[in-house]
Structure 1
Amino acid sequence: MQNDIIKCGLTEQKDSRFVDTIEKEAYVWCEKDWKHDDHEHAHHRAQLTFVEEGYQYFHIDRKIYLVPQYHVIWIPSGKAHQITSEARTVNLMVFLFKTVFGDDFYKDVQVFAVPPVLKEMLLYASKWNQLIQEDEEQDLFIKAILKSLPNFCRESSYLEIPVPSDVRIIPVCTYINSNFKYNLDTDLLAEKAKMSIRSLQRIFKNETGITLQKYHQLVRILKSIELIDTGQYTLSQIAYMTGYQSLSAFTASYFAIMKSRPKVRKTASGSSSQSL
């Protein structure tokens, strides 16, 4: 008989769904150095994940959502998702809710930067880590977090990488993902898609909601976030490694996507970080 696998207090079954035997309306589950599965899973509780350290990719409904450090992702109940990351360390706080409020906000996946007030609320709630017994203060506090989410949320669709369903477009995305450092060669991309440049541009936009140029920019910035996380490179080096001709061009592109300026983390040796 296969041993039960417990994740975030829930028991995982063979079909990647979970049995919920916890009676609490909501609780928080924190783990250091989060371990990732290689499969998609779903559960009946709605989920709020706060990335305290590192970064995380969530694969949901043919989209890949980037959740960098100090961002949260809201995942509605029953929504299948898979998580991946190449970060050195990923520290997550996961809040799980049996029921939610009726606002439209809670019906869709949401990703947004955590403002200071919400960040302090989330960190304060970590004192109840893995506490699944009834606690009145905890219940009221976590419910307040849930209620405040729509007010804290800002439109963050720039953190989504769409995955096209048209098989002709897949080789185009694969090529850009592997050759993001180089300028777009639309002739070559059209050849890979076996269509004209004009048809490629039209179908790509219809499939993904963004242009080839925007997709290319998104991939570059996501790669820069991975490089920043290593703590091994200066911003100038990262700009070059992701294909930008200057640090200023990289900074402007990063700000356009992330709404903040890039900042290099401190390395283990304690050297100072670089930011713009």
Structure 2
Amino acid sequence: MQNDIIKCGLTEQTDSQFVDSIEKEAYVWYEKNWKHDDYEHSHHRSQLTFVEEGYQYFHIDQKIYLVPQNHIIWIPSGKLHKITSEAQTVNLMVFLFKSVFKDDFYRDLQVFAVSAVLKEMLLYASKWSQSVTEDEEQDIFFKAILKSLPNFCKESNFLEIPVPKDERLIPVCHYINVNFKYNLDIDSLAEKGKMSVRSLQRIFKNETGITLQKYHQLIRILKSIELIDTKQYTLSQIAYLVGYQSLSAFTSSYFSIMKSKPKINKK
């Protein structure tokens, strides 16, 4: 890996470790048409990422977290993470904090929807993008954002896609990921995992914390989000493409996962 690659004000050194020589407690980096680094890396600063447009997948601790448009992810200091996305356009705002408050909230990874108030605060902060000079208003404003995060956060574990460690489950997950449009065939999945149906259901639940049926639903909804992002299909077409027999069935399933109804944002 080449040394001295600067990303978000951080300099990449060996072993995908990013460090910085910036003295400021916090700063923001806003970019349109974001080009992500699809390899695992970490840094000492805690990270708050706001996805203004598009979506991103964050691969962290054997799980994949979907962060769609108008959502944020909080990544504690030192946490290894990898980012991928197939979105046509990704506009991101990344806040990097040298120190945080002592509340338990800041020690754990968080993903949640951005409220109207928080969104306005984040967009206002974009005026300081890439500024590393001291600014009293900025320092106070960023500290206010940081302090307010626990109050804005709502549990959003529905955006979390588990990745099993048991090697027998890898072909099972791969098959579902490829054939998500079709109904689950538990017997075929058990054959791919080389175990009984009962063992597959028990081991999968123990490994991931969710059932095969729930995993299948999550994958369908993730695929629908990718299709919605392309703006090439109607919602009825997307419902069919991801395996639902009706728009109402798709809308109900989408709402149960995302806590909002699907919609296509046309520019």
Partner of 1:28: 28
Q: Does 1:217 align with 2:217?
A: yes
Partner of 1:61: 61
Give the Cα–Cα distance (whole angstroms) in 2 for the partners of residues 217 and 14 of structure 1: 39
Matched AA of 2:190: A
* Structure 2: gaps of 5 or more residues: none
- TM-score computed with the length of structure 2 as normaliser: 0.98
* Structure 1: gaps of 5 or more residues: 271-276
Within-5 A mapping of 1:116-265: 116-265=116-265
Q: CA deviation at 1:38?
A: 2.7
The question of whether the paired residues in 1 share the 8 Å contact of 2:3 and 2:14 is answered with no
Matched AA of 2:87: A
Partner of 2:82: 82
Partner of 1:273: none
Q: Secondary structure of the residue that 2:167 maps to in structure 1?
A: coil
Partner of 2:108: 108
Give the Cα–Cα distance (whole angstroms) in 2 for the partners of residues 253 and 15 of structure 1: 41
Matched AA of 1:240: Y
The question of whether the paired residues in 1 share the 8 Å contact of 2:204 and 2:211 is answered with yes
Give the Cα–Cα distance (whole angstroms) in 2 for the partners of residues 37 and 10 of structure 1: 13
Q: CA deviation at 1:14?
A: 2.8
Deviation per CA, 1:232-260: give whole Å up to 9, x if none.
Answer: 00000000000000000000000000000
Between Structure 1 and Structure 2, how many residues are aligned?
267
Deviation per CA, 1:65-99: give whole Å up to 9, x if none.
Answer: 00000000000000000000000000000000000
Q: Secondary structure of the residue that 1:18 maps to in structure 2?
A: strand
Q: Secondary structure of the residue that 1:199 maps to in structure 2?
A: helix
**Distance 1:198-1:33 versus aligned 2 partners, 3 A rule:** same
Q: Secondary structure of the residue that 1:35 maps to in structure 2?
A: coil
Q: Secondary structure of the residue that 1:56 maps to in structure 2?
A: strand
Matched AA of 2:258: M
Partner of 2:48: 48
Q: CA deviation at 1:265?
A: 2.2
Runs of 4+ displaced beyond 6 Å:
none
Q: Does 1:97 align with 2:97?
A: yes
The question of whether the paired residues in 1 share the 8 Å contact of 2:3 and 2:12 is answered with no
Give the Cα–Cα distance (whole angstroms) in 1 for the partners of residues 11 and 3 of structure 2: 10
Matched AA of 2:47: Q
Which region of structure 1 is more displaced relative to structure 2, 255-264 or 31-40? 31-40
Q: CA deviation at 1:3?
A: 5.5
Q: Secondary structure of the residue that 2:149 maps to in structure 1?
A: helix
Q: Secondary structure of the residue that 1:99 maps to in structure 2?
A: coil
Q: Secondary structure of the residue that 2:148 maps to in structure 1?
A: helix
Q: CA deviation at 1:4?
A: 1.6
Matched AA of 2:119: K
Give the Cα–Cα distance (whole angstroms) in 1 for the partners of residues 67 and 255 of structure 2: 16
Q: CA deviation at 1:2?
A: 5.1
Deviation per CA, 1:104-159: give whole Å up to 9, x if none.
Answer: 11111100000000000000000000111110000000100000000000000000
**Distance 1:91-1:4 versus aligned 2 partners, 3 A rule:** same
Which region of structure 1 is more displaced relative to structure 2, 55-64 or 35-44? 35-44
Q: Does 1:10 align with 2:10?
A: yes
